[in-house]
Structure 1
């Protein structure tokens, strides 16, 4: 079973989805994905995915694979932040 996220970290994901924030996510494998945070969903293995919409597609990223979350370029300055998830 995959590691569970700390509730405080999960809150960041919920907040960016509620705000439809523009974010860049860096995975533990070093991949970067950017887009508008859209939703948190369960996949068939019941793992949570952060759904990002960009100009070409919807992207699903396992929350437990996120190493860094950067909310940026949002109109309200307080909605921009960077957290490293360990």
Structure 2
């Protein structure tokens, strides 16, 4: 999501697994407190409101990445949606 050398937001890659996004193991058992913490940390870096002084391209990358992180978070947060995702 972020360039490792410069920290710039990258284009959305839909092939990245939701568990990978948060750096947690692919398992039905998820520590919801840890997931929430990682979600908040990512949103502090990706949220579109923080990108007002960047280019339109970077703002779009930010909006795409942030929305994807939100989808991933709520999917992994709820046991039923997490089970469906794992299957």
Q: Could you tell me the TM-score, scaled by structure 2's length?
A: 0.25
Larger radius of gyration: 2
Q: Which structure: greater helix fraction?
A: 2
